Amino acid sequence: MNKVIGTGVNRKDGRAKVMGTATYAAEHQIPGLVHGYLITATIANGQIKSINTTAVEKAPGVINVFTHKNAPKVFTPSNDFRTSKIYEARLPLSDDKVYYAGQIIGLVVADTFERARDAAHLVKVEYATQKPIVDAKAATFKESPAQMGEELKFEKGDFAAGVASATAKIEASYKTATELNAPMEPHATIAHWQDSDSLTVYEPSQWVLGTQRTYAELFGLPSERVRIVTPFLGGAFGSKAFPWPHGILCAAAARQLGRPLKVVLSRRQMTANTGHRSETEQTIRLGATADGSLTAIEHEVKSYTSPVDVFTEPCTGITPVMYTAPNLRLKQELAVLNIGTPTFMRAPGENPGMWALESAMDELAWALKIDPVELRLKNETKEHQRKGQPFSAKHFADCLRVGAEQFGWKDRPKQPRSLTRDGKLIGWGMAAATFPGLRGAATVKIRLLPDGTAHLLTAGNDMGTGAYTVVAGTAAEALGLSVEKIRVDMGDSLLPDGGIAGGSMMTASLVPAVMSACQQVLKTADAKTAQEAFVTLRQSKRAAIEATASSAPGAEGQKWAFQSWGAHFCEVSVDEEIGRLRVTRWVSVMDIGRVINAKTAASQVRGGVIMGIGHALMEECQFDPNIGYPVVYDLATYHFPAHADIPRIQVAFVGEPDLNFNPAGVRGVGEIGITGVSAAIANAIYHATGKRIRDLPITPDKLL
């Protein structure tokens, strides 16, 4: 038996990335390419009274300057998540209004990048300025609208009665700062028109076919006349799913110029123009009996959006799936600030939501003198309390028990400030992790070639999560070939629709389609194995035997709720004299259904934990209260973890294939690893110091 699934296969794309042969969006070489550089607003609220581009137009190498006065034409897309989607509902350069600092107000095109950049600084803009609202304290909140078709407000039972009957009550507010996605690969677009009715876009996109349809609508073209090329992404975390204004403007300007055009954003421009995770303030109220049984849970959330689109950080999505309570109340509120549009960021909603809930559960455990692991075991819910459906293949309790055993949790001192080492306070903390099991429709083509190899093609793509490796390993096992014999092409809209690389659904969507396509190609060849098929192929002297297959969700979602689970255990050391904290030990145990590739799956969990450590201790984007611009402007001023900040992260998997979810039994793993991390760290800090910190990031001043 050719066993590949579940083993640790090396990355299929690894060599190309380390050797520099993997081509990213800004690296494509197009003859006659010209360069664009954005002109951005220096105020956060107001109107452009005048914009003088005379000096810009006379600058060396300048080809054209676009502003709201001569904006190239684009159409309004349906922007409905199903057909098309853009990150900002307001199209670029559509009027003279300024809604946030850094907003695009123009584009300079020149023969070189340097000339375009230098010329962009020659523009003279006069504004009619209004005072911006960038401080959350000055914001006006309203009930959040439905997001992606789901109402965010929910209530069951009688919360007031549930709290009144409780022996122990916890009420606390937990805050998170604005975070930036900050992928290694900057946002960049190359737009290349063939005549005026055929467009090729080289752009890092998590949703290749969706981006194709969106650009088609923006420029009044049939989808077949638009090609999106994005075989590699240098990270995205949710910020590269749909076109941003700079990409739309690049394509529009390229069409008007009749020249291929490249626009690459600077790090400073990315802080304002390519999304972020909104800061949040969450209030959790818990009621419980003396033995730890929850009687009531309330979760209220405040987050922020921009004037040009609506995005709510859906933190309450985790609350009905974690712990059972007869009385449950959820509420989300949203305020508009003069900032760029927030968007998806790894585990949107789940990550900040679990920070609040898991911190509150730890506070309840201390109040009741119950072990935090036992409190969670006692209250785990068997069904999705909002949907009323039982969970399929749930092994949350195993995550808790295995994690506690591997970490040595039973030896944890029961009092804060009771554990020291080398003159430093030591603390142990834990928290749960969760993320929904999501999948979409995906199509894959498999070709068997006379040289004894197989070729797999899909427009689904790999943003660094390991999809190339996962689909190659799946095909190798299904066909009885070595992984080296599988060639994979991804990330091109000419290929079959592979769905979106987001919501931790790429593996769950693609793997069943790969299995089905492999079965179909063997059937087409009238063979039981690929080796038999190769014999048939060579005898027939055909160029290839191929088959295309699709997989999509069915009616299973009406019967089951699908969710992945996990538990984090960590140790921290705190030097109170200088406020220095180190995370010194980490154990994560995950239940994600069948593990397709043990190596890349564990790597995804580690990446999530590292990102969670950044969320807990460092990541923060503040806005200048006067001009509204982000005060961070590059990867030096926006702090995130380096190697020295990270301990060895031990990862284990438990559970079983979730065959109710899909024929492969696999759920996603990209996002669950970050959820609960910040709470585990804060809980460990309380154990170490006796100080409860409820405001992220936990910087040294909060530890002194």
C-alpha distances out from residue 319 to 159, 538, 691, 704, Å: 14, 58, 25, 33
Query: Which token pair is 83?
Result: 């057909």
Alpha-helix runs per DSSP H in 142-206: 159-164
Domain final position from 498, 530, 552: 552
Question: Residue 548 has what pLDDT?
Answer: 98
Bridge partners of 201, per DSSP, are: 191, 228
Mean of pLDDT values over 458-472:
96
Residue 222 belongs to some domain of the structure: yes
Number of domains into which the chain is organized: 3
Bridge partners of 171, per DSSP, are: 285
Amino acid in the structure at residue 367? A
Burial of 266 (0-12, 13-18, 19+ CB in 10 A): middle
Whether residues 385 and 311 fall in one domain: yes
> Is 518 in a helix, a strand, or coil?
helix
Mean of pLDDT values over 275-301:
98
Residue 262 belongs to some domain of the structure: yes
pLDDT in tens, 639-695: 999 999 999 999 999 999 999 999 999 999 999 999 999 999 999 999 999 999 999
Residues 6+ apart with CB under 8 A from 595: 6, 601, 653, 666, 669
Query: Which token pair is 164?
Result: 């009144």
Pairwise CA distance, residues 432 & 683, whole Å: 12
Q: Please, which pLDDT band fits residue 49 given cuts at 50, 70 and 90?
A: very high
Whether residues 43 and 171 fall in one domain: no
- Which residues are identified as catalytic? 671
Domain final position from 254, 273, 292: 273
Residues 6+ apart with CB under 8 A from 533: 448, 521, 522, 525, 527, 545
Pairwise CA distance, residues 372 & 361, whole Å: 7
Residue 49 belongs to some domain of the structure: yes
Question: Residue 149 has what pLDDT?
Answer: 80
Give the sign of the dihedral formed by CA 25, CA 610, CA 602, CA 568: negative
Burial of 577 (0-12, 13-18, 19+ CB in 10 A): exposed
Segments forming the whole domain that contains residue 617 = 141-179+276-437+559-702
Choice between 82 and 429, residue whose per-residue pLDDT is larger: 429
Whether residues 105 and 251 fall in one domain: yes
pLDDT at residue 37 tops 70: yes
Question: Residue 1 has what pLDDT?
Answer: 61
Whether residues 58 and 199 fall in one domain: yes
Local structure of residue 277 (DSSP, 8 states): B
pLDDT at residue 147 tops 90: no
Pairwise CA distance, residues 182 & 109, whole Å: 26
pLDDT in tens, 581-598: 999 999 999 999 999 999
Residue 453 belongs to some domain of the structure: yes
Pairwise CA distance, residues 248 & 74, whole Å: 8
Whether residues 450 and 375 fall in one domain: no
Amino acid in the structure at residue 363? E
Task: Write down the pTM of the prediction.
Answer: 0.97
Phi, psi of 350, deg, nearest 5: -65, -40
> CATH code at 612?
3.30.365.10
What is the pLDDT of the chain when averaged over all its residues? 97
pLDDT in tens, 505-543: 999 999 999 999 999 999 999 999 999 999 999 999 999
* CA proximity to 663, closest of 549, 541, 534, 496: 549
Whether residues 529 and 616 fall in one domain: no
Q: Reading across the β-sheet that carries 104-110, which strands appear in turn?
A: 62-66, 104-110, 34-40, 261-264, 188-193, 199-202, 226-229
Whether residues 203 and 255 fall in one domain: yes
Mean of pLDDT values over 140-158:
92
> Is 173 in a helix, a strand, or coil?
strand
Question: Residue 633 has what pLDDT?
Answer: 87
Question: Residue 148 has what pLDDT?
Answer: 81
> CATH code at 204?
3.90.1170.50
Residue 1 belongs to some domain of the structure: no
Local structure of residue 653 (DSSP, 8 states): E
Query: Which token pair is 140?
Result: 């006006």
Q: Reading across the β-sheet that carries 580-591, which strands appear in turn?
A: 420-421, 424-436, 563-575, 580-591, 649-653
Residue 9 belongs to some domain of the structure: no
Whether residues 569 and 538 fall in one domain: no
DSSP structure string for 435-474: EE-----EEEEEEE-TTS-EEEEES---SSSSHHHHHHHH
Local structure of residue 27 (DSSP, 8 states): G
Question: Residue 81 has what pLDDT?
Answer: 87
Pairwise CA distance, residues 461 & 204, whole Å: 10
Domain final position from 528, 552, 576: 552
Whether residues 650 and 669 fall in one domain: yes
Amino acid in the structure at residue 201? V
C-alpha distances out from residue 139 to 132, 270, 572, Å: 11, 24, 36
Q: Tally DSSP H helices, then E strands, for the chain.
A: 16, 27
Whether residues 84 and 229 fall in one domain: yes
Whether residues 563 and 687 fall in one domain: yes
The least confident of 149-153, 261-265, 371-375 is: 149-153
Whether residues 150 and 192 fall in one domain: no
Burial of 553 (0-12, 13-18, 19+ CB in 10 A): middle
For a pLDDT cut of 90, what percent of the chain falls above it?
97
Residue 188 belongs to some domain of the structure: yes
Burial of 81 (0-12, 13-18, 19+ CB in 10 A): exposed
Q: How many CA atoms lie within 13 A of 41 on its CB side?
A: 34
CB atoms within 10 A of CB 639: 16
Question: Residue 584 has what pLDDT?
Answer: 98
Helix (H) or strand (E) holding 420: strand 420-421
**In the chain, what is the straight-line distance between the N-terminal and C-terminal CA atoms, in Å?**
59
pLDDT at residue 379 tops 80: yes
Residue 481 belongs to some domain of the structure: yes
